[in-house]
Each structure stands twice: as C-alpha cells, then as structure tokens.
Structure 1
C-alpha cells in the first residue's frame, strides 16, 4: 500500500534554519542544517535501497505559498501568503510503498528523530494512506 508521510513546519522554522531566530525557534547553525540534510539523505538512501521510496521532496518556505480559492462570483481568489487557519504547513513529504501500516509507522518514527537544535518546535510526522479506489474512503 502507498502512504504519504508528511513533516510540518512554519515560516519561523524556515527563518531559524537560515540563522534568524524567533520565539520558540532558535537559530540553526550551518552544522545543524548539514546534520539535518545528512540525516534525511540517509533516510532517503535507505528507503531507495529497500524499494519503498516512490517520491520525496522538501518544500519551499511557507512565505512562498499561494492559496487559490473560489470567490462568491465563481472567479478565483488568489492569496500570496502562507497562512490560512494555521501557520503550520507541509514542509516536506515522502510517498512510500510499504507492506504494512506498522512498517510505515516505523519509518515515521525514524524521521521523527531528525536532529534539530535544542528548543526547536516538535511537530508530528503525519501518515496518510493513499487511496487506491473509492472503497478506501
């Protein structure tokens, strides 16, 4: 079965990774950033070797987000900002093809161990099964 495994973040987290701290998001050093990238590369390499990796990408900062909704007149309403009802957005994802929910949960638990500076926010790693048909609803 295929699963979408998601990690979350805020604009403040992206700013912190660029060395600009804020309340609750301490500045990352270059070593912190490199440790995170090295960790994620090992995860990706292992998932590729095991044949479970379908796709995985990190996403650009929330400040580069665009929302498109339908206006009352049916015309699109475009908002160039990252925040709808929450400031926590998708920061990256993997599409994995795993034998079981237990296996993808073990992978998510590993991802949750990604090194971050002390005091950084802690977000859950979210797992969503990818529907294979209407019977999966």
Structure 2
C-alpha cells in the first residue's frame, strides 16, 4: 500500500531556519540545521535500503507559493504566498510503499522525532493512503 507522509511548517519556521527568530519559532543555529539534515538523510537512506521509499522532497518556503483559482467569470485569479489566513502549509513529503498502516505509522513517529531547537513548534506528521487509478486504495 502506498502512503503520503507529510510534514507541516509555516513561513515563520522557514525564516527561523534562516536564523530569524519570531514569537512562534526560535532561530535555528547552523548546528541545529545540520542535525536535522543528518537525521533526515539517515531516515531517507534507511527507507531507500528497505525499498519503501518511492519519493521524498522538502518544499520551498510558503512565500514562494502561488495559488491559481478561477473567479465567477472563469478568469484565472493568481495569488502569491504566504497567506495571512494560513498558519501552516505542507513543508515536505514522502511517498512510501509500506506493508501496513502500522509500519508507515512507525516511520511517521521517527519523522516526528527529527531534532529541532528547544521551543520550536511541533506539528503532527500526516499520513494519507494513496488511491490507485481505479479509485481504490493502492
């Protein structure tokens, strides 16, 4: 079964990782960043070795996001991020092919343990089963 495992973040979190603290997130040091990158790299290597990793990527900061919708006349309405009404957005993801929900939950627990500086916000790791082309769970 394939699963999408998602991590969340806010614009303030991305700025904190660049060294700018806010009321919502402390500034990350270079050591904090390197610890997180090493942890995620080891996780990705383990998932690749087990054959469970299909894809995984970190995403650019919300400020580089664009929304495209339609107005009442069907004309495109394009809005650049970040969005004041949105607290957190998708920050990164993995597509995993796991034997069970229990196994992907174990992996999500490991993702949740990624190192970060004290006081940084903690977000849940989201697991969603991926449907196959027929509309069934794959």
Bin of the TM-score, shorter chain as denominator length: over 0.9
The CA distance in 2 between the partners of 1:55 and 1:135, in whole Å, is 21
The CA distance in 1 between the partners of 2:65 and 2:84, in whole Å, is 10
Tell me what 1:90 maps to: 90
Tell me what 2:54 maps to: 54
Q: Find runs of 4+ consecutive structure 1 residues off by over 6 angstroms.
A: none
The CA distance in 2 between the partners of 1:129 and 1:105, in whole Å, is 11
Segments of 5+ residues of structure 2 without an aligned counterpart are: none
Q: Is the 8 A contact 1:8 1:125 kept in 2?
A: yes
The CA distance in 1 between the partners of 2:85 and 2:135, in whole Å, is 29
Following superposition, the deviation at residue 87 of structure 1 comes to 2.3
- The SS at the match of 2:105 is helix
Root-mean-square deviation over aligned CA pairs: 1.0
Following superposition, the deviation at residue 84 of structure 1 comes to 6.6
TM-score by length of 1: 0.96
Tell me what 1:134 maps to: 135
Tell me what 2:33 maps to: 33
Figure out how many residues of one structure are paired with residues of the other and give that number.
136
Tell me what 2:3 maps to: 3
The CA distance in 1 between the partners of 2:136 and 2:85, in whole Å, is 30
Per mean C-alpha deviation after superposition, the further-off stretch among 27-36 and 76-85 is: 76-85
Per mean C-alpha deviation after superposition, the further-off stretch among 59-68 and 80-89 is: 80-89
Following superposition, the deviation at residue 55 of structure 1 comes to 0.1
Q: Is the 8 A contact 1:67 1:82 kept in 2?
A: no
The CA distance in 2 between the partners of 1:52 and 1:123, in whole Å, is 23
Segments of 5+ residues of structure 1 without an aligned counterpart are: none
The CA distance in 2 between the partners of 1:135 and 1:98, in whole Å, is 16
Q: Is the 8 A contact 1:108 1:127 kept in 2?
A: yes
TM-score by length of 2: 0.95
